[in-house]
């Protein structure tokens, strides 16, 4: 009865403007140490991106995470509508949400037969209490006990309503100095059926590589306009370093050493894993093998359901290097770090080992990762310093197309989306 009264009050509350969330970072951020393994995918598709297609309503998004404090917390969530640059729009919540403006988590399960005790939480979007009415960028904001000022986590996701078509052409770069190291992403946008007065102001495009947020291609304008087709055929601004295939480690078992695991130990309720020490490979030739393009897959070889049977391993990564690098930091990067560069992803140099090391708490599964160098004062990391960059590298590329028509409701609508893999190229 208490929950029903609270939700009823939320449903009739005056909507809060998105910019009122002062303590929220509109990125994939986990704000507390006890929350781990945060994932947001399409239900039943573990390698999918968090994109809800309004034209395919049968598919839902699934947000999941573990709380290592155990027990059952009163976790609450709301949804914030954002522009293409992930700043909150000026819309009221009743303009972009149907149903409640905030709601409590109802799906939680305690871990079973694990040394690390935790509670697993799940949230489906949309659901019977909350539904997105408009396309665009969104952030789900999770907090405890209806206290928005103390966020638990935030996760970005997309809502797509297709009204245009984007056709990609991924090929070798036109620029000679980038042919052996990079990919060029050209594309056309077909705007048939949509009235556009000024495509240079109304259309925004974002290119993303392997779900990363840090190296997106932004600010592209059409080079040519003919009839209803906008052509983006640059020779420089749409070139992305191809990088290398991701490193990987198999942590699916706590009884047997998986691929790239040098040692496993269990002490009391702690499970320790040491990944086989590694060297930089920027000087090596390209080696083809299958990876997850930086993602991870939660699996366990000992249990039946990894979301509650999977245990946690205190995992140490080691990267050999002749002395510490001066003028910058070394970080580990991938979905296992939410694609973030923070103090918690920085590796420390061990003079006795002659190597950088970092220890992360990871749930049983199969993990991709890479090592990057961040120069002091630089905005972007250098992921070629240790890994190199090869034109042959297999990558996923996504193209997001936003439309902001000159109407009274000013926000960026997500009107087209496509995904292309560099192994399945199309060329003009």
What's the CA angle centered on 89, arms 86 and 94, to 5 degrees?
A: 125
**At 356, phi and psi to the nearest 5?**
-85, 145
pLDDT at 4: 43
pLDDT at 32: 97
Residue 16 has pLDDT above 90, yes or no: no
Q: Report the pLDDT averaged over residues 382-386.
A: 97
Give the pLDDT confidence of 120-137 residue by residue, as tens digits: 999 999 999 999 999 999
Which of 265, 295, 38, 278 lies closest to 152 in space, CA to CA?
A: 38
Q: What is the DSSP letter of 20?
A: G
pLDDT at 351: 97
**CA-CA distance, 134 to 146, in Å (whole number)?**
25
**CA-CA distance, 192 to 194, in Å (whole number)?**
6
Residue 346 three-state SS: strand
Relative to beta strand 119-125, strand 130-132 is unpaired
pLDDT at 21: 75
Q: Report the pLDDT averaged over residues 248-277.
A: 98
**CA-CA distance, 28 to 235, in Å (whole number)?**
32
pLDDT at 8: 43
Q: How confident is the model at residue 15 (pLDDT cuts 50, 70, 90)?
A: very low
Tokens of 17: 């403007």
Residue 426 has pLDDT above 80, yes or no: no
The answer to whether 2-160 and 165-242+392-421 have equal CATH topology is yes
Residue 12 has pLDDT above 90, yes or no: no
What's 247-375's CATH class?
mainly beta
Q: What is the DSSP letter of 399?
A: E
Give the pLDDT confidence of 180-196 residue by residue, as tens digits: 999 999 999 999 989 99
Q: Is the pTM of this model over 0.75?
A: yes
What's 2-160's CATH class?
mainly beta
Q: Report the pLDDT averaged over residues 218-230.
A: 96
Residue located via tokens 């390209």? 286
The residues, any chain, with a CB within 8 Å of residue 142's CB and separated by 6 or more, are: 63, 75, 76, 77, 105, 151, 152, 153, 154
Relative to beta strand 296-298, strand 365-375 is antiparallel
Residue 423 has pLDDT above 70, yes or no: yes
pLDDT at 22: 77
Residue 372 three-state SS: strand
Provide DSSP, 93-147.
HHHHEEE-SEEE--EEEE--S-SS--EEEEEEES-SSEEE-S-EEEEEEEEETTE
pLDDT at 410: 87
pLDDT at 9: 42
Residue 172 three-state SS: coil
Residue 370 three-state SS: strand
The residues, any chain, with a CB within 8 Å of residue 215's CB and separated by 6 or more, are: 209, 240, 241, 380
Tokens of 411: 């926000």
Helices (H) and strands (E) in the chain, counts: 4, 29
> What residue ranges do the domains of the chain occupy?
2-160, 165-242+392-421, 247-375
Q: How confident is the model at residue 81 (pLDDT cuts 50, 70, 90)?
A: very high
pLDDT at 427: 55
Per-residue buried b or exposed e for 142-178, using 16+ beta carbons within 10 Å of the residue's own CB: bbeeeebeebbbbbbbbbbbebbbbbbbbeebeeeeb
Mean pLDDT of the chain: 93
**CA-CA distance, 400 to 224, in Å (whole number)?**
19
**CA-CA distance, 345 to 365, in Å (whole number)?**
19
**CA-CA distance, 224 to 187, in Å (whole number)?**
11
Give the pLDDT confidence of 396-418 residue by residue, as tens digits: 999 999 999 988 678 999 999 99
What's the CA angle centered on 323, arms 320 and 328, to 5 degrees?
A: 95
Contact 347, 319 (CB under 8 A): yes
pLDDT at 408: 67
323: exposed, middle or buried (Cβ count in 10 Å: 0-12, 13-18, 19+): exposed
Give the pLDDT confidence of 312-333 residue by residue, as tens digits: 999 999 999 999 999 999 999 9
**CA-CA distance, 94 to 123, in Å (whole number)?**
21
pLDDT at 20: 58
Percentage of the chain with pLDDT > 70?
A: 94
Q: Report the pLDDT averaged over residues 260-280.
A: 98
pLDDT at 238: 94
**CA-CA distance, 22 to 41, in Å (whole number)?**
27
Tokens of 120: 């697993």
**The listed CATH number (3.40.50.20, 3.40.50.300, 3.90.1010.10, 2.60.40.10) that belongs to domain 165-242+392-421:** 2.60.40.10
Give the pLDDT confidence of 271-317 residue by residue, as tens digits: 999 999 999 999 999 999 999 999 999 999 998 999 999 999 999 99
Give the pLDDT confidence of 138-174 residue by residue, as tens digits: 999 999 999 999 999 999 999 999 999 999 999 999 8
């Amino acid at each position: 009865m208490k929950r029903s009264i609270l939700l009823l009050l939320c449903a009739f509350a005056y909507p809060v403007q998105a910019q009122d969330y002062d303590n929220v970072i509109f990125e994939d951020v986990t704000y507390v140490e006890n929350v781990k393994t945060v994932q947001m995918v399409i239900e039943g598709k573990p390698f999918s991106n968090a994109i809800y297609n309004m034209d395919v309503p049968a598919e839902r998004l699934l947000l999941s995470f573990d709380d290592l404090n155990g027990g059952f917390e009163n976790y609450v969530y709301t949804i914030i509508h954002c522009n293409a640059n992930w700043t909150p729009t000026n819309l009221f919540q009743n303009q972009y949400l149907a149903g409640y403006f905030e709601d409590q988590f109802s799906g939680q399960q305690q871990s079973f037969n694990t040394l690390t005790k935790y509670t697993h939480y799940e949230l489906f979007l949309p659901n019977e209490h909350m539904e997105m009415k408009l396309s665009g960028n969104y952030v789900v904001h999770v907090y405890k006990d209806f206290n928005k000022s103390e966020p638990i986590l935030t996760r970005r996701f997309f809502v797509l309503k297709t009204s245009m078509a984007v056709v990609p052409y991924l090929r070798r770069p036109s620029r000679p100095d980038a042919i052996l190291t990079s990919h060029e992403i050209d594309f056309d946008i077909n705007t048939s059926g949509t009235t556009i007065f000024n495509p240079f102001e109304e259309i925004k495009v974002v290119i993303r590589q392997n779900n990363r947020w840090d190296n997106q291609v932004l600010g592209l304008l059409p080079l040519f306009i003919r009839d209803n087709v906008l052509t983006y055929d640059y020779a420089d601004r749409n070139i992305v370093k191809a990088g290398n295939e991701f490193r990987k480690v198999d942590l699916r078992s706590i009884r047997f050493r998986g691929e790239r695991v040098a040692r496993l130990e269990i002490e009391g309720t702690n499970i320790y894993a040491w990944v086989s020490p590694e060297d930089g490979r920027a000087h090596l030739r390209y080696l083809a093998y299958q990876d997850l393009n930086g993602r991870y897959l939660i699996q366990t070889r000992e249990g039946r359901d990894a979301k509650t049977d999977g245990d946690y391993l205190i995992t140490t990564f080691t990267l050999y290097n002749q002395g510490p690098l001066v003028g910058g930091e070394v970080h580990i990067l991938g979905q296992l770090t939410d694609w973030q560069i923070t103090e918690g992803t920085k590796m420390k140099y061990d003079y006795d080992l002659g190597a950088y090391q970092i220890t992360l708490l990871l749930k049983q599964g199969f993990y991709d990762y890479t090592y990057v160098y961040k120069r002091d004062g630089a905005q972007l990391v250098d992921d070629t310093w240790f890994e190199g960059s090869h034109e042959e590298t297999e990558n996923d590329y996504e193209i997001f197309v936003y439309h902001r028509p000159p109407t009274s409701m000013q926000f960026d609508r997500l009107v087209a989306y496509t995904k292309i893999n560099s192994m399945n190229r199309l060329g003009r």
